[in-house]
Amino acid sequence: MKRTLRTTVLTVGALIAAFGLPAGAAHADDTPRIDLRVLLVSDGGPSTDAIAAELTDTGTPFTEIDLARSGRQVIDADFLADTVDGRARAKFQAVVLPDDDPFAAGSSEMAALTAYEQTYSIPQVDAYTYARPQAGLQVPTDGGYSGSIDGIQADVTDAGKAGPFGYLSGTVPFEDNDPSVNESYAYLSQPVTGADFTPYVEATIPGTSTKGSLVGEYRHDGRRELVVTFVYNQYQEQFRLLARGIVEWMTGGVHLGASRNYFSVHVDDVFAADDRWNSELNCTPGDVDCTDSDATADPIRMTPDDVDYAVSWEQSKGFTFDLAFNGVGSVDQRDDNNGVDLLADKLVADKNDFRWINHTYTHAFLGCVQNTTVVPWVCETDADGSTQWVSQDTISDEIATNRAWAETNGLPLESDELITGEHSGLRVLPQQPDDNPNLAPALAANGIDWLGSDNSRESAQRQVGAAETVPRYPMNVFYNVAKAAEEVDEYNWLYTSRAQGGSGLCEDNPATTTCLSAPLDTGTGYAGYIVPLETRIALGHVLSDDPRPHYIHQSNLTEDRIAYPVLNGVLDGYRALFADNTPVVSLRMKDIGTELKRRADWQTALQAGQVTAYRIGDAVTVQAPAGLEVTATLPTGTTLAGSAFGSAYAGAVSGWTPSTGDPLSLTLPATTATTAVTTAASTAPATDPAPHTRVPAGVAEPATATATATN
């Protein structure tokens, strides 16, 4: 039977009545209130988990319903909507489902969601669904494809660039990190003839020149669905690239929370020299764990040419290094060379090309007093067994003397930032399970508010007295190497088995993620294996809305300058993926600490139910406790009390604004309130039910790679 295509326009008031709300529920102006909260219905699979992780990281509130949990909340009209002060209220601005219809046939819950979405123009994300006519797509057997798409390059369509994915440059690479594992499974197909379906991201169907949709918008029956037909987890690059657009699509670009892509690099031990790895002894002469009496130190120190190279590189990349410095390195150099230190002269002359961080004067260990006559070292104890600690005066002297040296040399230093040598003073397991009790008072006495910590030991920000830590990612570009061959030799020692000449670390700690099945070639292993791996790990942090800085050492900027291939891989790779409106953000340490603190406070307030937000037409209202900084992402041109809100990023504006406890009232730039709902043409009925969209065999969540902490 031929269906008659028709378009029906209904007022919101009529739809509210049709939805079964109580008589008199509609407000006088008929504009409903839409709460800024997402409903996420989860099947426990990686795709809905990934979207939940993105909403959490962004700081966008959501309510999760686990379909597998007994006694869970039933989704019905009362759960989805009600009235507040006589105005109809939609409790969720978007709905995320595991697939286009995860309920049993004839489900009252799906019927309630359908009516809700039609009534309030609420968009629905199908996190991972089979390509079928009910989702606006042909089944894959009709000229499409189902299977692995590892290593393919997908494309953002013109509609995607003009719409929710306008922050991308145009390509979306799919990972292929392990040829033995199917990492990305997908259904590729074209829209059903006559369907109102707009592909946003598509890829070539294997064996053809035809494009098939991976992400697209399907409009039908007065509803809008974002149809995603590939499986993913929260760590995969393809999801990280598309996650922002998925959130922007589902929220219409109006939501609490915000995200940016961050990358900052600290270079430790500047002015000092780092001891060099000894490939025969498999240790570093000068370090406490290298006890061979015949070991001879071979220090590594930058040269003026390395400074010129660094400045030129920064200018070419539009990037700034943060140099963590030890003033005694220059003092010792001058003492040993008749007052000459060409490196320090050059760095001081170019001081404004860098940001500077106090790394203590001598890089002394500021935790317990170390007994280095044993390997591994232990803390010295008093006769009663109590730990001997480095004194508060010693810690203060390290901070203040380095600060005074910087002032004498005119370095533009932020006096409230500090990174101790080896992050010492903070607890380090197993030898020192507690912070040095003298650390916090020394920090307070010297006005330190932000203290660098090692993210591989402590990933969460925490207080040390009045100061807050700033966790830093160690890169597996080791502190004690300046040549590619040295890096590979030490890497082989750390990550191969004893039978292969290695340390056996991986045998003793099977959870280590950087283990090797065989030693790398010292001539090719760095460029061929370590650089791509470290680039991927660091770029993964950048794409995860993670502001934590990475750290390397001055030894990595000299001789073979081995840090640059990794840094180039991150920055060049990023710029190939993103449009100019989405630059990488590089913050200095105190600003990173502030961002982390704001986020923690925001998450605490969300979890406590202390924040409410809603939209009525062009007006957005946020209620939050006094003193809490509120974060939101809104369309360009949004105002707060008559002034522009936020700053531009990724085609929108976002930022933080303090709450006084009174409602914050924001005005969107142009009317986008829903006053009518259009019902699109009906599509042909499905022939067979869609297969349950389970994760295909071999698709697994990758372990997060772990770098070895370095001093």
Q: What pLDDT digit, counting tens, does each position of 113-143 carry?
A: 999 999 999 999 999 999 999 999 999 999 9
Q: Which helix (H) or strand (E) element contains residue 63? A: strand 62-66
Q: pLDDT (tens digit, 9 = 90+) per residue, 305-323?
A: 999 999 999 999 999 999 9
Residue that is last in its domain, among 426, 441, 474: 474
Say what the pTM is: 0.90
Nearest-angstrom CA–CA distance, 504 and 515: 10
Closest CA to 481 of 544, 554, 432, 375: 554
Within 13 Å and on the Cβ side, how many CA atoms surround 530?
A: 28
Q: Residue 385: CB partners within 8 Å, gap ≥ 6?
A: none
Q: Is the pLDDT of residue 16 over 60?
A: no
Long-range contacts of 318-321 (CB under 8 A, 24+ apart): 319/265, 319/571, 319/586, 320/353, 320/354, 320/355, 320/586, 321/265, 321/266, 321/267, 321/354, 321/355
| The predicted structure's pLDDT at residue 286 | 84
The number of domains in the chain is 2
Q: Is the pLDDT of residue 268 over 50?
A: yes
Q: Which residues pair with 278 in a beta bridge?
A: 283
The SS3 assignment for 148 reads strand
| The predicted structure's pLDDT at residue 189 | 97
Q: Is the pLDDT of residue 226 over 50?
A: yes
| The predicted structure's pLDDT at residue 432 | 97
More confident residue, 694 or 262: 262
Q: Are residues 85 and 209 in the same domain?
A: yes
DSSP strands (E only) in 8-52: 9-11, 33-35, 38-42
Nearest-angstrom CA–CA distance, 333 and 347: 14
Average pLDDT over residues 237-248: 98
| The predicted structure's pLDDT at residue 375 | 86
Report how far apart, in Å, the C-alpha atoms of 357 and of each of 266, 269, 310, 555, 558 are: 9, 10, 17, 17, 20
* Least-confidence region, from 28-32, 191-195, 492-496, 511-515: 28-32
Contact 285, 279 (CB under 8 A): no
More confident residue, 222 or 708: 222
Q: Is the pLDDT of residue 681 over 70?
A: no
Q: What does the mean pLDDT of the chain come to?
A: 91
What band does 291 get if pLDDT is binned at 50, 70 and 90? confident
Report how far apart, in Å, the C-alpha atoms of 441 and of each of 367, 395, 444, 584 are: 14, 10, 5, 36
- Please list the alpha-helical segments (H only) found in 139-289: 158-162, 237-251
Task: Report yes or no on 269 lying in a domain.
Answer: no
Nearest-angstrom CA–CA distance, 204 and 186: 12
Assign residue 191 the CATH number of its domain: 3.40.50.880
Task: Report yes or no on 704 lying in a domain.
Answer: no
Q: Are residues 16 and 150 in the same domain?
A: yes
Task: Report yes or no on 100 lying in a domain.
Answer: yes
Q: Is the pLDDT of residue 697 over 90?
A: no
Task: Report yes or no on 44 lying in a domain.
Answer: yes
Residue that is last in its domain, among 234, 260, 286: 260
Closest CA to 424 of 447, 453, 391: 453
More confident residue, 172 or 694: 172
Q: Are residues 256 and 396 in the same domain?
A: no
- Omega of the bond prior to 179 within 30 degrees of 0, cis? no
What band does 28 get if pLDDT is binned at 50, 70 and 90? low
Q: Which helix (H) or strand (E) element contains residue 603? A: helix 589-607
Provide the pairing of β-strand 550-553 with 265-270.
parallel
Nearest-angstrom CA–CA distance, 628 and 620: 18
What band does 707 get if pLDDT is binned at 50, 70 and 90? very low
Residue that is last in its domain, among 453, 474, 495: 474
Long-range contacts of 302-306 (CB under 8 A, 24+ apart): 302/270, 302/343, 302/554, 302/555, 302/557, 302/558, 303/342, 303/343, 303/558, 304/342, 304/343, 304/345, 304/346, 306/557, 306/558, 306/561
| The predicted structure's pLDDT at residue 294 | 67
Average pLDDT over residues 562-591: 98
Task: Report yes or no on 301 lying in a domain.
Answer: no
Task: Report yes or no on 236 lying in a domain.
Answer: yes
| The predicted structure's pLDDT at residue 296 | 81
Q: Are residues 255 and 369 in the same domain?
A: no
Task: Report yes or no on 626 lying in a domain.
Answer: no
Average pLDDT over residues 100-114: 97
Q: Break the chain down into helix, strand, coil percent, rounded to 5.
A: 30, 25, 50
Average pLDDT over residues 284-312: 89
Q: Which domain holds residue 446?
A: 360-474
Q: Is the pLDDT of residue 149 over 60?
A: yes
Nearest-angstrom CA–CA distance, 626 and 662: 8
Q: Which helix (H) or strand (E) element contains residue 418? A: strand 417-418
Token duo for residue 378: 């232990």
Task: Report yes or no on 274 lying in a domain.
Answer: no
| The predicted structure's pLDDT at residue 711 | 52
Report how far apart, in Å, the C-alpha atoms of 232 and of each of 80, 184, 307 are: 28, 7, 43
Average pLDDT over residues 516-533: 97
